[in-house]
Each structure stands twice: as C-alpha cells, then as structure tokens.
Amino acid sequence: MSNKRVFHLHLVSDATGETLNMVARAACAQYEDARPIEHVYALVRGPKQLERALGEIENAPGLVMFTMVNDQLRERLEKRCAEIQTPCISVLDPAMQALGKYLGKESSHKPGSQHIMDAEYFDRIAALNYTMSHDDGQSAGDLNEADIILLGVSRTSKTPTCIYLANRGIKAANIPIVPNAPLPPDLESVEHPLVVGLTTSPDRLVQIRKNRLLSLHENTDTDYVAPDVVADEISFARRLFARNGWPVIDVTRRSIEETAAAVLNLYNERQRSA
C-alpha cells in the first residue's frame, strides 16, 4: 500500500503566481509523502475571475494558498473557503506584517508590484541577453563585462546555473574545461568578474553523462562516460582551479538553485570586501 498523500492544492494569485508557486513547492518539499495536484489561478483581479477559481475549489476541495492585495476579493475568497471548510492561507501575510511593523508604514496594495518594468527589470533582460550569448565559451572576447564566470567540465550544470543567475540580474558567462584545450586568452586578464570553478564526483558525473547520451539515443560506449577518463577530467579541472586561485563549488548533490545560491554568496562576499 502506498504511503503517498495525494491532495488538491489551489494557488490563487492576483499576479503571475510565481512567488506563490515557489513558496508552495518549498513547503511541499519538506513532506516526502506529499503529492499535490496543483491548480493555479493567476491574474485573479476581479470578481468573475475569482468566481471561476472558487468553482474549481468547490469541485475539488483541498488546501488553498493565495497572494492577493485587494481586500474585497480576499475577504470573498476567505469567506467561501470557510463555508466549504477548506483551509485558506495567505502566504505573504507574516512577512508583510513584520515588514510593515518594522517600517511603520502600510503596503502599497499593488498586485504584482515585483513585476514592474523598472530599471531592475531591464537589467535582468540585459543579463539574460549577455548570458545567452556567452554560453559554453561563446563570444569570449568581452568576458570582462561579466559579473560572474563559471568554469567546469561538461555536465556540471554551468548553463542552467548561469540562466538562474541572469534571472537575478547577474551577467554570467560559462566556459567548458577540456583537458589540454586552451582557455580563452581574455580569461587571464579579467579583473571585474568573479571566476568560479564547478566540480562534482566522478561517479555522479558518469551517471549524468550516461543519462544524457541515453536521452539522445546515442552510444554510451565512449570515453565521454569512461570512469577513468571522467576522473582525469575532474582532476585536471581541480588543478586548474587551484593554480589560478579560483574558488570551487562542488555541485554533486546540489540543485541548480543551491549552486546558484552558493555562487551568489561568493559574489556578495567579494562585493562587500571590495
């Protein structure tokens, strides 16, 4: 008999739902047996949109989590959920109340305020454009414009980590390390970017590379997944990092988000000490 707990999780937001989705998934991740069936209702800013969401909630009762700044819509949602005895939680209330108390001010009550097209928004767009054009060693002539440069052998999560960083407004380039292949000449002279090496365990890397080849229906009888060759690649990269004094992050058991957070910690420490 399965111990998995399947339940309906309704996410109601007056904005894109991105914040709500991240909070919900972070909470559910703490319960290994939880298997939520997600129902997402984004841009709920009027009575008609709310009624459609409430209809779905009544048809499939479960836990309701919401982010909503309109008091009338919020009260309507909470009242209906109470009537059908469905738990209803405002995920931002504790943070908003603490912040308001500390600042001594009321919030702006603007839905989706974090998505305003301000200077930070355009900085993120510029960072994404830079990162995409400097993926996997491309356009290596202007590396000094990067905020962060990631190095590592193939399949050490360089690209997805850079994309994650770019979404935070960080211009991130990545360069693959291939034994006996030269690195971009400009890498030796960069002053502005933080250069970080990514490494992993040989066994884990072999597994990841094999899965990649299998997904592409390619032959796995190759040096690309040979344990001895992979171990040599990682050793070569580690020596390179040590020789240049570059900080190293082991991504063996890290998610992309955790790797990016570790990189950002190094970056912020460097900024503070500058």
Q: Please give the distance of CA 32 from its chain centroid, rounded to a whole number.
A: 20
- Out of 3.40.50, 1.10.10, 3.90.320, 3.30.450, the CATH code matching 119-273 is 3.40.50
Cα distance between residue 266 and residue 269, in whole Å:
5
pLDDT in tens, 189-225: 899 999 999 999 999 999 999 999 999 999 999 999 9
Residue ranges of the chain assigned to CATH 3.40.50.2300: 5-114
Whole-number average pLDDT of the chain: 90
* pLDDT at residue 29 is higher than 60: yes
In 3D space, the residue among 199, 128, 126, 121 whose CA is nearest the CA of residue 163 turns out to be 128
Is 68 in contact with 77 (CB distance < 8 Å)?
yes
Query: DSSP label at 134?
Result: T
Is 66 in contact with 88 (CB distance < 8 Å)?
yes
Range 5-114 has CATH code 1.10.10.10: no
Cα distance between residue 128 and residue 63, in whole Å:
36
Stated pTM of the model: 0.68
pLDDT in tens, 87-107: 999 998 888 888 888 888 776
Cα distance between residue 225 and residue 203, in whole Å:
10
DSSP H stretches of helix in 8-145: 18-28, 47-59, 71-83, 93-103, 119-133
Q: Where are the beta strands (DSSP E) in the chain?
A: 5-13, 34-41, 63-67, 88-90, 148-152, 172-176, 194-199, 248-250
- Residue 220 has which token pair? 């796995």
